[in-house]
Amino acid sequence: MSQTSPKKLQNFMNNIAAGLKSHNIDDLNEAIKGVIVNNYPRKDEIDYLLTIIANGYSISKRTLKVARATGEIKEARNIAYCILHIHLKLSSRHIAIKVFGHKAHNAVWEAINNFNTLNEKIKTDRIFKEKYDVYHGKLVEFIKQKES
């Protein structure tokens, strides 16, 4: 934790006291958590990736993030996990907890491990890699446009 000046700390405590007068503790806690959770690196790229994958699979971003992972939803989620980890260099724990809101990161780790051991002679693996490449390419283009 960084050093904070006494004046900044006093101002912070005054803001908390003022907030407690008009809001309950649970509301303030949720507001603080919302700021922390939504303040993660590469948020624009993550949001864009989740949007294009959800649109590509004709599902909502919410479904991509929280629905029971079966069939195409699982495939879509695994593509997102892999791109977030491999291209954006996010940890499996960060992806699971901060991006998808899951408690454990086992599914992320499993998806990454499966991707690293793909066998392109197997049709399903080849199709997964092709879809991965499409979404990865779109993300790379988005990042290039954003930086220019």
pLDDT tens-digit series, residues 17-75: 888 888 888 877 777 766 655 556 688 999 999 999 999 999 999 999 987 778 899 99
The parent domain of residue 10 ranges over 6-37
Please list, residue by residue across 120-135, b when 16 or more beta carbons sit within 10 angstroms of its beta carbon and e when fewer do. eeeeeeeebbebbeeb
Q: State whether 135 and 82 are in the same domain.
A: yes
In a domain, 1, yes or no: no
pLDDT band at residue 136 using 50, 70 and 90 as cut-offs: very high
pTM greater than 0.95 (yes/no)? no
The predicted pLDDT at position 36 comes to 59
In the chain, the number of structural domains is 2
Q: State whether 116 and 51 are in the same domain.
A: yes
How many angstroms separate the CA atoms of 57 and 50, rounded?
A: 11
Q: State whether 84 and 69 are in the same domain.
A: yes
Q: State whether 93 and 125 are in the same domain.
A: yes
Lowest mean per-residue pLDDT among 3-7, 52-56, 87-91, 106-110: 3-7
Q: State whether 51 and 111 are in the same domain.
A: yes
Q: State whether 142 and 84 are in the same domain.
A: yes
pLDDT tens-digit series, residues 95-118: 998 899 888 889 999 999 999 999
